[in-house]
Structure 1
């Protein structure tokens, strides 16, 4: 395949076992001309993606954050912004009030945490970003003044409580929310009408003269399925969910074995 752009998920796909970029990956990206855009598409917030692009020598690239809910061009201008309505965010907070479930709230460049605990410390370590410390009710009041909602709500906690919340939200709000359960202890909640695939299509239409059929994309989880299906060459890493592998045109090595780098090395040799 003669691809013209690369689009990749981050966690479980691009990063190695140390949750970092491997030297092998950095080497192959450095060998590729910058005329091949490298577009990261993740549930992460923008600042949790920018440091990775800087490390790859690609600081000025588009970003698809929050699984497609917040899309930025190379200069940081907003191409699209789709949020969970404030009343629904308030309902999620109310549902978790009498549980031990930890709730993280995100909008645009901002991440809000109510307290420092195991979960918030884990996210700070994993993403290399620090949150704004603010109670959930205060965040709601702040957003209400500006007519905002959440680009992402992330809930973390005991797997039984997380299963309960997943079931309740799916039962009542399946038409309004995407519920990504990346682990038994996590749910990443996003607006239903967005996806990485729709966001990538918008980026290409806004900024480039080629389409989805000339993109190679990498992923591992349920929120990558549409992306993998929509591009010219969809690649699942070896650790991907079976459903992702089923729609991929290629299954590469495990993310801990540099699967993305291995495929790019092979394809780059034919450019």
Structure 2
């Protein structure tokens, strides 16, 4: 079985227990033909993935950011952009007004924070990206002037308040929003009509001469289900949600045990010197 591209989720899949790339994985990727693209598909913003691609020795790769809401080619040019409309963003913020829930706003290359607290500091540490500090009202005014929406709204806080907000948003706006509860203290909110799979399909159609059936894909969470279902070979790490494992073709090792590297070695390591592999076939 030969694949022409690798597509992987980041957090809980590609990264190890130190939230970093293992030497084993980096060595493997750097040994592959450059004709085999390594495409990261994540809820992260672009800048939170670029340093990972650089560490993999692949600084100029396309990417699927914001769960498919923003698709960039290898030069950083936008291939597709789908956002949550500004009025709906304001509605989400209004729902949090009487709670202690922290709200982070994202558009394109920008991550906006209105206050420095436990949650913003944690995200800076986890993603190695610094936000733009701006008052909420100023962000809304800026987006209104420039006719922008949010590629992602991330809300974080007490698990009980997050459960309440998830229920309210699902009830009142479930037809317009994807609600990914990646942890019991987080909800990552994206436009309903996008997914990592739709983003990858846009990318493949625009830049490559093969389809999603010739891609091997890796994931662990609910927002990876569509990707693993549509890919030629969908791989769930051992720590994946049961629903993700149920749709996968294969279950590999835990992300802390280099599950992605384990599977890629089996598919590619023995083939890396063959003429067909070196040509990216």
Give the structure 1 partner of residue 247 of structure 2. 247
Instruction: For residue 138 of structure 1, report the CA deviation from its aligned partner.
Output: 1.2
Give 5+ residue unaligned stretches, structure 2. 272-281
Q: Deviations 1:191-224 (Å, cap 9, x if unpaired)?
A: 0000000110111110011111110000000000
Secondary structure class of the residue paired with 1:40: strand
The correspondence of residues 57-72 of structure 1 with structure 2, limited to 5 A, is 57-72=57-72
Is structure 2 residue 174 aligned with structure 1 residue 155? no
Give the structure 2 partner of residue 27 of structure 1. 27
Name the CA distance, whole Å, in 2 between partners of 1:204 and 1:256.
30
Give the structure 1 partner of residue 9 of structure 2. 9
Give the structure 1 partner of residue 202 of structure 2. 202
Give 5+ residue unaligned stretches, structure 1. none
Contact 1:6 1:37 in 2 (8 A): yes
Give the structure 1 partner of residue 38 of structure 2. 38
The correspondence of residues 227-238 of structure 1 with structure 2, limited to 5 A, is 227-238=227-238
Contact 1:153 1:189 in 2 (8 A): yes
Name the CA distance, whole Å, in 1 between partners of 2:181 and 2:137.
25
Name the CA distance, whole Å, in 2 between partners of 1:29 and 1:234.
18
Instruction: For residue 98 of structure 1, report the CA deviation from its aligned partner.
Output: 1.3
The correspondence of residues 1-271 of structure 1 with structure 2, limited to 5 A, is 1-271=1-271
Secondary structure class of the residue paired with 2:263: helix
Name the CA distance, whole Å, in 2 between partners of 1:114 and 1:269.
47
Q: Deviations 1:19-66 (Å, cap 9, x if unpaired)?
A: 000000001101111100000000000000000000000000001000
Name the CA distance, whole Å, in 1 between partners of 2:147 and 2:232.
38
4+ residue runs of structure 1 moved beyond 4 angstroms? Answer: none
Name the CA distance, whole Å, in 2 between partners of 1:204 and 1:124.
31
Name the CA distance, whole Å, in 2 between partners of 1:165 and 1:176.
15
- TM-score (normalizing by structure 1): 0.99
Instruction: For residue 269 of structure 1, report the CA deviation from its aligned partner.
Output: 3.3
Secondary structure class of the residue paired with 1:175: coil
Contact 1:29 1:56 in 2 (8 A): yes
Contact 1:93 1:136 in 2 (8 A): no
- TM-score (normalizing by structure 2): 0.96
Name the CA distance, whole Å, in 2 between partners of 1:144 and 1:189.
20
Q: Deviations 1:230-266 (Å, cap 9, x if unpaired)?
A: 0100000010000000000000000000000000011
Instruction: For residue 270 of structure 1, report the CA deviation from its aligned partner.
Output: 4.5
